[in-house]
């Protein structure tokens, strides 16, 4: 690959610039002499000024080669695997060139959004368009007409194909250019072609196009204006070339660009779905319709463009490697994994290469998910990252990686690979490096925990194989492990099916692979349904909210105001007025009510309408306020009196007492985060919060329970800051200035160019739109009421402050007084009295247990005569009896007595049903029986199941 040059990478020769290829080697979109293209031979461009390089098409349009100056820069190389990579085709360079290309065409370059979307209908960010969903829906007015992004994405619906095909990935970057009612098909197609053939220099005769079967307009643009021959434009049906995110919502036809790796195969009977020949790398969606509930299509008010160019796919093409995994975006991770496994990737067999690709892919997904605040758990997003970690661990074990791969068998290898991902993250997400220590800690803990799970899986497999052999022996059938059991080992315990099969073969047990495949397919269908749909729908109130401006929030400065009713909703449908007794959602032009956001719940209060000549007095009790798309406040409540109608003036009044409680708890939350960072380390960060009227809840990243002395120190610090009576400072400033000043941003929140900063001087500074006290002394007091783990690496603190703190202390004091009265001691003597009572209780229980054991032994002595002998050569005395209502501990004592009393070899099996509720079974075998290969546990296990 050292000789690879882009077609438009210019080199200086004797003071002039020349194209680094001959006309006979490459066919370009403007450099052919055949009927396929309109243009002229490349040789006429042999000597040119790089700043003036251009061409004229046969239809009279002149196009500037926007990257000519950049392409004239000297080329450098870096090593990727065993090849040399031209830096102009590196993944970082491709990303930069794409964004610069569209920036030069008036697109605002926007940052990638988090992998955790704001949209509650989507589990993870699966497409570049997701952050623009409100604009596509017409619910948020566009601030810019066109944009370009490089979006981090996660898709796990095809996780089983990762490593087995050349293109499937769980983590990928989607380069995209978007138009919001600005340009449409002609510009989107023209620029996609220029980017592909001029900026990236792809040979034009290797590019094929697909269009929607009825899209004559797109076909004409590709054929008549761009000059693509008709035989290389394929019309495909709705399944392939009509994009929709779900059953309803914005949709439209699309057009895709494919790269042909094997043009020598000709033009007849071409299948663009043939992965061995083609790869689709650029998708242009012409979003022009809204699909309604009945399936019909109606034109959108504005036509949009949504495109996606897979970075890993275009890198594969430009870097001339056989698959996405061997690009410089992923291969360094594979190379590190190869070293840990002591395997040469170049010499590895197909299964080993597949496993290395799986690790290379999964490690990127894992690192970026954890960086974005997704920690392993058994539900939702946490399950996705846990599953990927487990697949990576078991795949590493299949490759032979033991421990950390460096000789420490008690260590972990995922953190070593994660460091490689972090090194590659600079131009993808610079925040990853600042979160590195947290990522590595979480990976180490999760891997070591899973290794223990794998070991439990091995024990379960052993039991399953024993059961399969026993069942086959009883039924006279061939022993076989069921597909359901095999899938349980695979899915729950992360046990590779290959290892299950290998171990089963050693025991002479087969595996029902058809059953396993059925279970796998069921899970895959569920995964596709859960993870691969972006739900876009134009809701009932969309037309209503489109005509209503954003609500003006006055709640920082006042708790009451006069406002005008702009809209009313009942059961989600717009109405003109609402009478007493009905639930209602009220939209106002201005409001003092805080809408739920940033963890703080919405205000409560009332809307009043004074009695006038034509209208009776009305009263609406507000119990919740939510913020809709477009920053419209939705006041949810009940009409208690009268009638409320659109256009009426109301007095909106917030419940001052409840607002104060919320303010106290919100400021206390800021102090809590500052105290946590001071006591347990700056690396800890917020993972969620709730600011309510009666308490606060704060979730944070930490890998162990807080010690009692740490909790006390946190409380001491916060109460000290409260006592300092510090005035809070609130400022609005540019986001960049706030970050430079050290303000903490809340994970998952989106911030505009101007942000609100809440500072407790010398203690805390956070970006926050919530309501706060003006002086820390208003908090009065702070108390942690619980600290617990809620997920792997996530802890939760619940606490009270202000009025809730006073109520909590008074309630606890009342409980203590009642306890002192019951125990007849002073408060300081309660612990001594309780310990003495517990000691007395333990002694009484031991006496009862001893008495029950004596009774059981006495009863056992009366059944010794019931023992019988089995076997011919080696006679074994056997006793099987029910002992009625003897409890489990006493039953054990009876069994031990009988084994010791009867002569070895002896086998005793006893059962009982104390209180008629639960059956207890126990088997006790003497050494002589155990020596014959019969173990009590394995004997009684299947019986207990029955």
List the binding residues for Zn(2+).
666, 670, 768, 772
Q: Which residues are annotated as a binding site?
A: 666, 670, 768, 772
Helices (H), 221-260: 238-241
User: Which residue in 594, 612, 613, 611 sits closest to 603, CA to CA?
Assistant: 594
Tell me, letter by letter, the H, E, C secondary structure of 145-181: CEEEEEEEEECCCCHHHCCCCCCCCCEEEEEEEEEEC
Q: Write out the two tokens for 493.
A: 């315990």
Can you list the alpha helix ranges (DSSP code H) found in 745-882?
A: 803-823, 830-861
Sign of the alpha-carbon torsion through 556, 558, 560, 563? negative
Neighbours of 302 (CB within 10 A): 16
Residue tagged 């098409």 (tokens): 57
- 721, 784 in Cβ contact below 8 A? no
Q: Is 936 buried (19+), middle (13-18) or exposed (0-12) by CB count in 10 A?
A: middle
Give the integer Cα–Cα distance in Å for 326 and 328. Answer: 7
Angle between helices 803-823 and 830-861 (to 10 degrees): 60
Per-state percent for the chain, helix, strand, coil, to nearest 5: 40, 25, 35
Q: To 10 degrees, the CA torsion angle through 553, 740, 714, 690? A: 30
| Tally of residues, the chain | 946
What is the distance between the alpha carbons of residues 384 and 394, in angstroms, rounded to a whole number?
16
Q: Quick one: tokens of 153?
A: 């994405």
The beta-strand segments (E) located in 166-316 are 171-180, 207-212, 233-236, 242-244, 249-260, 278-291, 297-310
Sequence-ordered list of residues with C-beta below 8 angstroms from that of 87, at least 6 positions apart, any chain: 75, 76, 77, 78, 93
Q: What is the DSSP letter of 745?
A: P
| DSSP character at residue 272 | T
The answer to whether the bond into 617 is cis (omega within 30° of 0) is no
User: Beta partners for 19?
Assistant: none
Q: Which residues, in sequence order, are CB contacts of 735 under 8 Å at separation 6+?
A: 751, 752, 753, 754, 755, 767
Helix (H) or strand (E) holding 92: helix 91-103
Strands 108-109, 146-154: pairing kind:
parallel
- The phi and psi torsions of 637 (rounded to 5 degrees) equal -170, -160
CB 492, CB 389: distance < 8 Å: no
Which residue is listed with tokens 């002694």?
Answer: 843
At residue 868, φ and ψ (nearest 5 deg) are -130, 165
């Amino acid at each position: 690959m050292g000789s690879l040059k882009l077609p438009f990478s210019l080199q200086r020769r004797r003071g002039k610039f020349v194209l680094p290829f001959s006309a006979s080697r490459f066919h370009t979109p403007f450099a052919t002499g055949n009927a396929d293209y309109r243009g002229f031979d490349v040789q006429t461009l042999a000597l040119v000024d790089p700043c003036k390089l251009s061409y004229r098409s046969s239809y009279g349009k002149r196009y500037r080669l926007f990257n000519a100056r950049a392409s004239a820069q000297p080329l450098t190389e870096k090593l990727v695997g065993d090849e040399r990579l031209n830096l102009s085709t590196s993944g970082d360079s491709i990303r930069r060139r794409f964004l610069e290309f569209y920036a030069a065409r008036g697109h605002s370059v926007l940052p990638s959004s988090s992998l955790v979307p704001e949209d509650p209908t989507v589990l993870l960010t699966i497409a570049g368009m997701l952050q623009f969903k409100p604009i596509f829906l017409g619910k948020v007015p566009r601030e810019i007409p066109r944009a370009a992004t490089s979006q981090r994405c996660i898709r796990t619906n095809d996780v089983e194909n990762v490593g087995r095909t050349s293109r499937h990935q769980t983590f990928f970057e989607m380069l995209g250019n978007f138009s919001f009612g600005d340009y449409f098909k002609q510009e989107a197609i023209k620029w996609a072609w220029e980017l592909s053939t001029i900026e990236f220099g792809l040979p034009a005769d290797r590019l094929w196009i697909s269009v929607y079967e009825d899209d004559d307009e797109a076909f004409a643009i590709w054929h008549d204006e761009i000059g693509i021959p008709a035989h290389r434009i394929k019309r495909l049906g709705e399944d392939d070339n009509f994009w929709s995110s779900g059953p309803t919502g914005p949709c439209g036809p699309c057009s895709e660009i494919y790269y042909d790796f094997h043009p020598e195969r000709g033009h007849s009977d071409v299948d663009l779905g043939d992965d061995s020949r083609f790869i689709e790398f650029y998708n242009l969606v012409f979003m022009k319709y809204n699909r309604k509930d009945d399936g019909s299509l109606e034109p959108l008010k504005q036509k949009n463009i949504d495109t996606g160019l897979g970075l890993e796919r275009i890198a594969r093409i430009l870097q001339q490697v056989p698959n996405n995994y061997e690009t410089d975006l992923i291969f360094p991770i594979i190379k590190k994994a190869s070293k840990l496994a002591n395997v040469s990737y170049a010499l590895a067999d197909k299964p080993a290469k597949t496993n290395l690709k799986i690790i290379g892919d999964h490690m990127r997904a894992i690192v970026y998910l954890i960086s974005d605040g997704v920690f392993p758990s058994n539900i939702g997003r946490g399950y996705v990252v846990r599953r990927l970690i487990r697949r990576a661990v078991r795949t590493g074990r299949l490759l032979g990686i033991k421990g950390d791969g460096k000789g420490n068998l008690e260590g972990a290898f995922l953190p070593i690979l994660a460091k490689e991902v972090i090194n590659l993250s600079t131009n993808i997400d610079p925040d990853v490096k600042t979160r590195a220590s947290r990522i590595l800690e979480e990976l180490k803990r999760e891997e070591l925990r899973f290794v223990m799970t794998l070991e439990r899986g091995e024990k379960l497999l052993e039991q399953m194989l024993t059961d399969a052999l026993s069942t086959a022996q009883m039924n006279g059938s061939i022993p076989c492990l069921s597909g359901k059991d095999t899938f349980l080992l695979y899915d729950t315990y992360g046990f590779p099916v290959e290892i299950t099969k290998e171990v089963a073969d050693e025991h002479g047990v087969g595996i029902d692979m058809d059953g396993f495949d059925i279970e796998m397919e069921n899970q895959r269908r569920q995964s596709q349904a859960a993870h691969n749909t972006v739900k876009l729908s134009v809701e009932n109130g969309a037309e209503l909210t489109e005509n209503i401006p954003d609500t003006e929030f006055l709640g920082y400065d006042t708790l009451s105001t006069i406002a005008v009713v702009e809209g009313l909703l009942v059961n989600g449908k717009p109405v003109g007025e609402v009478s007493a007794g009905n639930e209602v959602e009220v939209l106002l032009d201005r409001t003092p009510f805080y809408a739920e956001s940033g963890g703080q719940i919405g205000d409560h209060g009332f809307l009043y309408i004074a009695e006038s000549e034509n209208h009776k007095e009305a009263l609406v009790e507000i119990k919740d306020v939510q913020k809709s798309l477009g920053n419209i406040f939705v006041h949810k409540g009940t009409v208690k009196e009268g009638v409320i109608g659109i256009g009426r003036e109301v007095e909106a009044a917030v419940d001052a007492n409840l607002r104060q409680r919320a303010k106290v708890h919100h400021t206390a939350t800021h102090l809590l985060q500052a105290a946590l960072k001071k006591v347990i380390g700056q690396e800890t960060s917020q993972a969620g919060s709730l600011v309510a009227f009666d308490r606060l809840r704060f979730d944070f990243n930490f890998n162990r329970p807080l010690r009692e002395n740490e909790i006390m120190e946190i409380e001491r610090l916060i109460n000290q800051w409260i006592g300092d009576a510090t005035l809070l400072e609130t400022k609005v400033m540019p986001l960049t200035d706030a970050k430079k000043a050290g303000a903490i941003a809340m994970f998952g929140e989106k911030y505009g160019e101007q942000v609100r900063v809440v500072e407790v001087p010398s203690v805390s500074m956070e970006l926050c739109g919530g309501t706060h006290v003006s002086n820390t002394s208003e908090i009065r007091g702070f108390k942690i009421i619980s600290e617990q783990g809620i997920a792997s690496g996530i802890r939760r603190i619940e606490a009270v402050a202000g009025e809730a703190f006073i109520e909590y202390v008074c309630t606890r004091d009342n409980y203590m007084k009642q306890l002192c009265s019951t125990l007849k001691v002073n408060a300081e003597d309660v612990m001594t009295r309780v310990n003495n009572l517990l000691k007395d209780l333990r002694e009484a229980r031991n006496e009862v247990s001893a008495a029950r054991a004596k009774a059981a032994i006495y009863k056992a002595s009366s059944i010794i005569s019931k023992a019988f002998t089995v076997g011919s050569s080696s006679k074994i005395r056997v006793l099987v009896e029910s002992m009625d209502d003897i409890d489990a501990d006493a039953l054990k004592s009876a069994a031990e007595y009988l084994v010791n009393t009867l002569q070895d070899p002896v086998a005793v099996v006893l059962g009982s049903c104390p209180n008629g509720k639960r059956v207890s079974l126990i088997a006790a075998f003497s050494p002589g029986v155990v020596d014959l290969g019969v173990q009590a546990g394995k004997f009684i296990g299947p019986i207990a199941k029955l």
